[in-house]
Structure 1
């Protein structure tokens, strides 16, 4: 926490810049973000805001990190009171991601929608917050596997030595003893979940195609959990 008046003032200004940036993201879109517009709403001359944020790309990075952490916080909060059941926790995680995306479509779009032209998110700043939900999923997969809740495919899929090496790096990164087949299926669940949410939030289905998209989502997530190896 900032301990001096100057540090506290700077921290507050940075919070205000991010808040105003979120407002402009929602109204104007990521590609139209402007530090000049942020400075105007902040009530300072444009040159003053550059003391805090040096470029549009730096502002975008702040918003990306802010968005990933907001999503991660929402998932953590939802799981805090969840029953000690990995399947139920994965259902809650999926519902929370969808609910957050619908509540924050502009922020979700920045994270998982069309890339902003000319902007590359710096991995050193965005990887850790960007993988919070994925990390939580990995630990839930591991917990379900350790408890014998998942049925392995028969026969086991063939995995090349090169891909198995990638899976070994994932095992080492998360310090989890997951078999190759579960890592492969876990990646499928992760990618499919965000694909389902994107299809819904970005209206890929069409306005009147399905009577109840919430019910459709529940059926889709149940199918993904079946794929992962849970029994009904």
Structure 2
């Protein structure tokens, strides 16, 4: 029985992967709104009722694709990090460039997680941890070093409370001010990538490689990396 069960599990995992791969292929053609289980089933030579045993709804399929995309871009960021023995600025910049490289190689998956919201779809909590992997990779570069102090800035009480709650939730040994700077840097990272992929830099800093590297170095200064 265990051997039979393992064979069934492998077969299920393999077919689940094929469904996800076909859905990603169609995502590149019709976008998240145009994706349909019926079309995916047809291309795989399945009846729709069989596919529903793997993904009961389009929302479940989208969630699986979103989780995969967050994990893939997070893994790219983590793999780009040369590790604790390296200079923290080198690590920071490597994570930035690794994240950008994945996005450029997978523009449709990137658009799924950082593009326009999908009408009628609300991401479940399953996506929260994968969505934070790039941020955690960036946090890891600053927690083992003494950051340069920056001039203090007045922070609205409500924002400070949010930042302090975030620090406690993450278990990060950083100040509220540093947490907010990290959020700003995280926003700049994905904002710069999105502007590049969606053609917003055309006519200004296109190609954007030199600009992106400059932003990465500037934000390393901004968060206080030595």
Where does the alignment leave 5 or more consecutive residues of structure 1 unmatched?
Answer: none
Alignment match, 2:114:
112
Q: Is the 8 A contact 1:39 1:49 kept in 2?
A: yes
CA distance in 1 between counterparts of 2:173 and 2:204 reads: 42
RMSD: 1.8
Alignment match, 2:211:
216
Residue 45 to residue 94, structure 1, CA distance change in 2 (3 Å): same
> Which residue among 195, 200, 215 is the counterpart of 1:199?
195
CA distance in 2 between counterparts of 1:26 and 1:117 reads: 18
CA distance in 2 between counterparts of 1:47 and 1:211 reads: 47
SS at 2:143's partner residue? helix
Residue 53 of structure 1 and its aligned partner are, at CA, apart by 0.7
Residue 132 of structure 1 and its aligned partner are, at CA, apart by 0.9
Superposed CA deviations along residues 110-146 of structure 1, whole A, max 9, x for unmatched, are 0101111111111x21001111111121222222xxx
Q: Is the 8 A contact 2:82 2:91 kept in 1?
A: no
Residue 21 of structure 1 and its aligned partner are, at CA, apart by 0.9
CA distance in 1 between counterparts of 2:32 and 2:119 reads: 9
Alignment match, 2:53:
51
- TM-score between the two structures when normalised by the length of structure 1: 0.89
Residue 128 to residue 93, structure 1, CA distance change in 2 (3 Å): same
Residue 108 of structure 1 and its aligned partner are, at CA, apart by 0.3
Alignment match, 2:44:
42
Q: Does 1:179 align with 2:175?
A: yes
CA distance in 1 between counterparts of 2:61 and 2:201 reads: 32
SS at 1:29's partner residue? helix
Superposed CA deviations along residues 38-71 of structure 1, whole A, max 9, x for unmatched, are 1012211111111111111111101000101111
Q: Is the 8 A contact 1:67 1:107 kept in 2?
A: yes
Residue 176 to residue 210, structure 1, CA distance change in 2 (3 Å): closer
CA distance in 2 between counterparts of 1:22 and 1:104 reads: 10
- Which structure 2 residues correspond to residues 118-157 of structure 1 after superposition, within 5 A? 118-122=120-124, 124-143=125-144, 147-148=145-146, 150-154=147-151, 156-157=152-153
CA distance in 2 between counterparts of 1:184 and 1:81 reads: 24
CA distance in 2 between counterparts of 1:175 and 1:130 reads: 17
- TM-score between the two structures when normalised by the length of structure 2: 0.92
Q: Is the 8 A contact 2:142 2:225 kept in 1?
A: no
Q: How many pairs align? A: 223
> Which residue among 86, 91, 94 is the counterpart of 1:89?
91
